Every structure is written in structure tokens, then in C-alpha cells.
Structure 1
């Protein structure tokens, strides 16, 4: 009999007499997925150096004269004449370089797990602080790399987790960068009226659900207050009693069970969850004869174990799933059907992609604003000249233009240059994103758990690059079932590896189109492409 040692989203797999045990947590078909491959190449040049990031826009074709004004503190000069836009060629005149080291925003991005990568139990992993400095531009290439955090943890508001990370890491982390296991459940607000939220401490998860927009949110303590006989071996403490609300659950149907965070009372929570699953229309005290009339159940993640500062891993929400499913099957003879979020689920991957697109746009906007502030005189210029004499686009100016669909406009120098740039309507809500940036050239996902983190990064998109670190669940010397594209000691080494790797690709592309007569044109699609069309 053999056992896998570093199991998280999948229960321990045992081999006995050649027969493999199929884990309940591995019944979602993720291992059968084929990662999406892009039809179109994405440039490795930084977002702030690119001119074709909006729907294939690629050229300012008219010549420009230099202003006689002195250069600003940012050493950018204004070009006075209005340049014209064309869709099909490069706008930046570049000089060949041995290193690219001007301030810019990367075309690639990072996603980090938190527990086991940034934190271990209550402690901050020391290398994480330096890693964040590198990502924020304090590196020899002066490149700022957008990053978000995707954790299966939860049980607290995203703002609280962001504030905690900000203090620990010595930099500003916003709630818009945080995806917890239950964050994608925001999308269920319009679907269910009455929800039971399970897990976490006291009333915290109730308040989180209400902040998402759920109207009628109940917790197991409310049910235990309504009828103490529901869980006969547990008497509410004073602290628990304060959190309860007076509700008659014989008259209130529960439409959905949302397991937000790890249960603090497995016995009581399982009893209540199972009673509702076996009920008629989600009403406590009833029992369905067919066992298929109960509410839907959603889990924020499926981590079987997780790392703390204790020597051995602890059982997590995935273990609770296994326990509930086993009891349900023993009672009904049927397999329990559940809805899963968290890594490695596809729903969380899609949500993370939207959040990352929003955050990348925000980082780019901030960078462009700083350019304008550093050189107030450049605000109305169409082309700027940097300290090396290279022409670059004033992206802040371009944002004020609108694109014309009339192809004849290209032949009329007197007509207004137009660029289609849709503004993000509302900060922090990924479903409001309308701006069509190209996707990240590479997304580096750093995690400590092969069965959730590496499986997540490897399963959905071929451009995601999985990095496994040795500071969490993964035990050095074991062979993970889901193999990363790179293995590092810690998060700092992971960040250094990615920055160096990306700089080499960026430099090669930069030098492929320069003023050098011998430079070779890179193979780049010239067709305008929407972000929805990047995948085959």
C-alpha cells in the first residue's frame, strides 16, 4: 500500500492489490481538460512600450518634429505635430539594447497562493517581502509586474486580508487583488434568496456574504438557537449566542448552502448540512422521500489538507466534503452532487482571469498618469522622446481619441484621429471590464500545493506557467502527481526566475525591430484581434 504525501484538493490515493481508489474530490473531470492554446502571439514587450495593445492598433505614420522645450524631470520631450494612426505597423523607433532598464509595466503577470507561499500559519515567509519589492519595480530592469493573490482560504472580508498582507509585506495590497475561495460566489447573489453560510468565526462570514449582496443570510448558529435539539451535544456559548438571529426555520426554506470557510464545529455543521440536503425544499424538520429536493451546496474550495506552523498538515474543507459525501451516500445510496469553487476549478480560473485583466489595466493607467505628471508639458503631445532619443507613444493622449470605422479617414490628414478606448466603468468589479487589453503574455502562478495550485495553473491555459515552492504543503524529495514547470525554494526565487526569463524574451523582441538595418522583423499577427478571440 502506498500513499501520496502532499495531497490537498484530492484525498489520499491508495493502491491495494492493484486497484486504485477514486477520490470523491477527483470526480470533476479537471484532469481530462486540455489547456487552451492561443491562436495569436502575444508580445513580450511591456504594456507601456506597446502601441498595439488596443484592438491591433499599431502605427503612428506621420513624421514629427521635436519641440524646442526643455526636457522634463522624466527626460521626455513633446512632439508638436499631430501624428496619424494606422492599424498595421510599428510606431516605436527603437535602438538596439543590451538590457532594457527604463520604467515600464510588464506584459506578463503573477498570481500567488497565500498560505505556504506568502504566509506559513501566522508567520510571514521572509522572502515574500523582497519578492514584492521586485515586482513593484525595485529590480535592475525597472519593470513593474502586475500581480494578484488567489487563495483557497477565506472566512474574512477581502479588504481585511488585503490590509493584513499590506502590513506584512510592506507595500500596498488592495482588495481588488484578492480572490478568496468564496469571492466568486458574488455571482450567485441574483440566484438565491435565502442562503445558509457555513464556516468561519462567529458572524464574520455572514457579514462577508451580505457585503456581496446576499439579502437573507443565515448561519448554523441561528439554527442551533432556533432549536437546540438539532445539535444536542453543543450548547451555545455567550459569544456564539450574540451572533445569532431569531428565525423560525420551520417556515424559512434554505435555497442554497454556501460553505465559505473551514468549519469550526464539524459535528454540528455536518448535522445541519445533511438535514437540509435530505429535506423537502430546504425546510428544517422535513425529509424528502427521493432525497433530491434539498438545496444546492457550494464549497469555496476542495483542499483536503493545508499547511500551518504545526509540523504536519491539517484537514481542510475538502476533508469536510468527503465526510459529508460519505454520510450522504450511506444514508441515501446516492453520490452527493456538489458545486465547487477555488483552485483548481474552472469557475475560479475564469474569475481570476477577469480580475487580473482589471488589475493589469489599473497598473498601466497609474504608470501613464505618472508619465503625464512628470512632464506636464507633454500632456497634449502625440509622440514623446525619451532620454535615449527614441520615439514613444503618449498613451495618455491616445486615450482621449476615438477610433473611426471609416477606412477613408486614413487618407485625410485633416480628420480627427480616433481610438476606441472603452473605460472601465467601476473599480473592483471584474464583470464591468470593457477595455480590451491583450492577455498577459505569461501568467506565473506560484503555489505550494501540487494538487490544487499546480493542477490549477496547468489545466486551463497553456500560457500559465506553474511554479512550485518548498515552503508549504509540498515536501522536498517527493514526486508530485501534478508536475510544475519550475521548482523553486521560495517565492523570491520564483520571482527572480520569472523576471530574468521574461527579460530575455523582451530583449530579443525589442532588438528584432530597431533602427539597425540588419534587424529582423518578428513574426507578429497584424490582424486586429479582440481578447475574446485569443484562443482557438
Structure 2
């Protein structure tokens, strides 16, 4: 009987094939510069009191404002507060696992709906907190997952907020022509791969239709025959095997995968003398177990890896080489970081547009005749124009302080959007979620919840920074923690109310060349 850190739940042994990725030897990136806890929108307002920067948030002369307008930016003074409660966008962010945190099998975890509404601004501090979902699950398009979450949680979730285990595999489109996609129901994963842009996508059902003797103990059902395609696999080589989702037929899938791994150039019915000519093998994740509404966890894709690796080693005497995605892999972390950076930009840009639309006319009427922006034609700023935030790739991926997100106005005033002050990652599985959050960047704050794989009273192998009953408790904890940090920083550079008449120096604008945005796609390393 297998027992471990999660009580009655099974998990891979310390010397498991799944633990040969070197993640436990990684040193998390550290911040070389302090990142402000003030909201992004207040930092934006403060940018109206600065000259163009080179990306360091320390160069900002932040004044903070409950509104985002040129008039407030120039003439407002930050006054000490006991609570910060104007509408704004947080400097921190969230990333959530889905299974065991938001949903459990077919059921939605009761506290999840309120938790997400709090992050959308329905909290006592009126702060909007950007968030994304990072799940090792898959088997369907990100848009479909987003639509399901929207329906379950009664909020709007877009596909830009959803990273599934196989999402980073879309970057392989230009690498492989013929791919065999494993997992999921029917040909659902084929459709996802085709949506990503893969040219020739095959499934095990196609192989079984081609030659039923490949898997002699399984006869295709009418439903399976309806989605299986006619392909001659004796003349069609497979370049890569992509395990997108959990296998629905371990026996058949393993038989086909192993035959291809041992083949000559990916052709069925052939055997390589060296066992090194087969297709590359990719897994969307390595979760050994996962939570359903059953009282014990079920074996997942990680267990399938272990099984295939054992069979391969028994047959060849060699260690199976695979490429893994999903949590806790570094490639997925980098991909998620890029996606979160872009989403933070989108949330702030939407907030800016809302405020400029609401306040543009009134601000113009209230503007002082002596405002340098109005009296200097060479530096005229059209306040009714919508600011844009440009996303560019960082010059150095090792610099965790620079996300390469640039805020630009028509006046050529630019500001690098700072990285998230903290990213709270909420998960239910120590081996994937907590390990993921703890291994790559010290600014990520791991929170373990008790609504999924983890069982209360057990000692997790990978220790979270905080443990909560559920996702709602996790969100409330983080909001309170961050408000305390934000309030302290606000008051450290604020004045008492009776000193609020202090005048600020005028804005200095410097023309500079417009930054040309690069492609927004998130990259990963294999």
C-alpha cells in the first residue's frame, strides 16, 4: 500500500522517474530591485510627475491619485489614510490551479464564485486584482475552458487567462509536421491541436482503424469509428507524440506509444536496431494523482509516464527521454509569467480607458490656464486619447524585475510596467502546485488549499508559504496582506491632511522614439 505526505493519497516515490527533472535543485530568482506595492493605477497616475525612465520603478515620482487624469496627476497631493479604497488595479496578481481549487470533478467548489468576484473589485478596498488560471488539465480548447469557468463562476473569463497543460505545445507547430495526439474524448484533442496550427494530426483511434490487430483487445465503438480517419500508417511516419490529456485507454495508448518509440523514423510496424530513431515524446504534465469527487485521488498522466518508462526500460535497458510541460516545469513557469504580464497590462489598459472616458471632458474644463501642458504647443497632450500599453520581450529573461511592458502616451512619456509585487499561486497539490510556485521566483507566494488532493493533518513534501481551508480564504488573506503593505508605503510618502496644499513641480516631458512592440506570444524553453 502506498502512503505518503498526503495521507491516504498516493504520490511518486522520491526516486521516481518523475523526479529526474532537476527542479528541486533550482534556485528561485530573486529581485534585484524593490517593487512598489502601490496599485498599478496609482503608479500610472504618479508617472505624470516623471521624465521617461529606463524601466526602474524607483525612478518614478509617485504622487498617487484616486482618479487617473492629467489634472489630478499634476496638482494632487497624497494624503495619509487609514484605508485605501478608491477604485484601482493592484500591483499584485493571482494564479490559480483549477481542479481541486475552483472545481472538483463535476462540482464547483462553493467558495470559488465569491473569491473571484472579490478579485474583480467587489471588495471593501475597491481593488481589482489581475488573475490567470494555470491548470495541468486539458483535452479541450482554452476558449471552451474559459466559457465553462465563466458559467460556473458567473463572471467573464477569457481564453487569454487560461493556461492548460498542453497550451505551451502550440509553440511546436513550426517544428513538427505529423503528430500523434494522445488523450481526451474522441477526437477532441485533435481539434485543439489543429486549432493551434498543427498540419497533420493523428490519434490512436486512427491507428486502430488502420489495423485493429495493433490493439487486439479493443474493438472500436460506433462513436470512435465516426471520428477515426483513414490513414496508412505504414507509409505515414510520426514526428512527435503529444500527450495532451489523460488517456482514456491506457492499454491501447501505451501499446501504440511504445511501438512508435521503438520504431524506425516513426513508422508503425518497424523496429529500430538502436531504439533511438522514434518520435519525440511530450507530456502536457506529470501529475501522478488528481482529485475527483471520489474520496481517493485517481492516477493521472504522471502515472502513465511511469508506466511507459518502466516498459521502455524493460524492453531496451535504456532510460526514456521525454519533454515535460505543465506544473512544476520551468518552461511552463516562463510561459505563465509572460501570459500573466500581458493580462496585467490588459487589465490596467481597460482601467485607464474607463477613467479617461469618464473624466476626459471634466478634466479639460477644470484645467488651470497656467497648465504647462496646455500652454506649451510642442508638448500638447490630447487627454481624450486612449493611452496604450505596449508589450515587448525582455532583453534578459534572467532579470525578474523587467517584464518588458511599456506604457506609452501620445506625448512620448513612457514607463515600464513593473513586475507584480507578489504573485499568489493557489493550488491543492504539493508535488505540482506548491513545487511550481516555490521553485522559480521568490516573488511567487504559494498557498495550499484543503479542497483537493492535499489532506489536512498530513505534512506536504513541498511546504507552502501559507495553508488555507479554501480559495476564498486564500483570496481574503492575500487582499488583507497586500492592503497592509500598500497602506504602509502610501503613508510613508504622504502628508498629513493639513499639509495637503503643498505644490508639486510641473511635469517635464522628453520626446523619445516610439517603442515598436514585438510579438506578444509567450515563449518557453524545452
Quickly name the TM-score band, shorter chain normalised.
0.7 to 0.9
1:28 and 2:18 equivalent? no
Counterpart selection for 1:305 from 267, 289, 299:
289
Deviations 1:110-132, CA, capped at 9 Å, x for gaps:
00000000011110011001101
Counterpart selection for 2:432 from 446, 449, 452:
452
1:506 and 2:498 equivalent? no
SS at match of 2:379: coil
Deviations 1:200-221, CA, capped at 9 Å, x for gaps:
0001000000101111100000
Q: Structure 1 CA distance, aligned partners of 2:267 and 2:306?
A: 24
Deviations 1:139-179, CA, capped at 9 Å, x for gaps:
00000000000000000111111111111111101111000
The alpha-carbon deviation at position 6 of structure 1 amounts to 2.6
Could you tell me which residue of structure 2 aligns to residue 6 of structure 1?
Answer: 6
Deviations 1:389-441, CA, capped at 9 Å, x for gaps:
xxxxxxxx9xxxxxxxxxxxxxx96643799966359xxxxxx9863421100
Change in CA separation of 1:183 and 1:352 when aligned onto 2, cut-off 3 Å: same
Could you tell me which residue of structure 2 aligns to residue 416 of structure 1?
Answer: 379
Counterpart selection for 2:138 from 143, 147, 154:
154
User: What stretches of structure 1 of length at least 5 have no aligned partner?
Assistant: 14-20, 64-73, 84-90, 385-396, 398-411, 426-431, 520-529, 531-536
1:41 and 2:30 equivalent? no
- Partners of 2:345 and 2:405 within 8 A in 1: no
Counterpart selection for 1:466 from 435, 442, 446:
446
SS at match of 1:374: helix
1:107 and 2:91 equivalent? yes
1:371 and 2:361 equivalent? no
1:261 and 2:254 equivalent? no
Q: Structure 1 CA distance, aligned partners of 2:279 and 2:143?
A: 30
Could you tell me which residue of structure 2 aligns to residue 199 of structure 1?
Answer: 183
Q: Structure 1 CA distance, aligned partners of 2:326 and 2:107?
A: 23
The alpha-carbon deviation at position 245 of structure 1 amounts to 1.0
Q: Structure 1 CA distance, aligned partners of 2:149 and 2:240?
A: 31
The alpha-carbon deviation at position 373 of structure 1 amounts to 2.3
- Partners of 1:128 and 1:491 within 8 A in 2: yes
**Structure 2 length-normalised TM:** 0.82
- How many pairs were matched up? 462
Could you tell me which residue of structure 1 aligns to residue 173 of structure 2?
Answer: 189
Change in CA separation of 1:331 and 1:417 when aligned onto 2, cut-off 3 Å: farther
Deviations 1:350-382, CA, capped at 9 Å, x for gaps:
000011011111111111111122224057699
1:479 and 2:488 equivalent? no
Could you tell me which residue of structure 2 aligns to residue 50 of structure 1?
Answer: 43
- Partners of 1:357 and 1:437 within 8 A in 2: no
1:343 and 2:327 equivalent? yes
- Partners of 1:7 and 1:451 within 8 A in 2: no
SS at match of 1:79: helix
Q: Structure 2 CA distance, aligned partners of 1:289 and 1:77?
A: 71
- Partners of 1:111 and 1:445 within 8 A in 2: yes
Q: Structure 2 CA distance, aligned partners of 1:234 and 1:475?
A: 37
- Partners of 2:437 and 2:444 within 8 A in 1: yes
Q: Structure 2 CA distance, aligned partners of 1:98 and 1:181?
A: 43
1:276-425, aligned counterparts within 5 Å?
276-378=260-362, 415-416=378-379, 423-424=390-391
User: What stretches of structure 2 of length at least 5 have no aligned partner?
Assistant: 48-52, 393-402, 407-415, 501-514, 516-526
Change in CA separation of 1:176 and 1:95 when aligned onto 2, cut-off 3 Å: same
Q: Structure 1 CA distance, aligned partners of 2:489 and 2:104?
A: 39
Change in CA separation of 1:46 and 1:290 when aligned onto 2, cut-off 3 Å: same
Could you tell me which residue of structure 2 aligns to residue 79 of structure 1?
Answer: 71
Q: Structure 1 CA distance, aligned partners of 2:277 and 2:363?
A: 63
The alpha-carbon deviation at position 76 of structure 1 amounts to 7.8
The alpha-carbon deviation at position 12 of structure 1 amounts to 3.1
Counterpart selection for 2:214 from 226, 230, 239:
230
- Partners of 1:9 and 1:304 within 8 A in 2: no
**Structure 1 length-normalised TM:** 0.80
Counterpart selection for 1:134 from 104, 118, 131:
118
Q: Structure 1 CA distance, aligned partners of 2:156 and 2:69?
A: 32
SS at match of 1:325: helix
Q: Structure 1 CA distance, aligned partners of 2:142 and 2:10?
A: 26
Change in CA separation of 1:513 and 1:249 when aligned onto 2, cut-off 3 Å: same
Could you tell me which residue of structure 1 aligns to residue 162 of structure 2?
Answer: 178
Counterpart selection for 2:82 from 98, 102, 114:
98
- Partners of 1:10 and 1:26 within 8 A in 2: no
Could you tell me which residue of structure 2 aligns to residue 492 of structure 1?
Answer: 472
The alpha-carbon deviation at position 253 of structure 1 amounts to 1.2
Change in CA separation of 1:502 and 1:255 when aligned onto 2, cut-off 3 Å: same
The alpha-carbon deviation at position 291 of structure 1 amounts to 0.6
SS at match of 2:40: coil
CA-atom RMSD in angstroms: 3.1
Q: Structure 2 CA distance, aligned partners of 1:277 and 1:513?
A: 63
Q: Structure 2 CA distance, aligned partners of 1:77 and 1:374?
A: 10
Deviations 1:466-491, CA, capped at 9 Å, x for gaps:
00000000010000010000000000
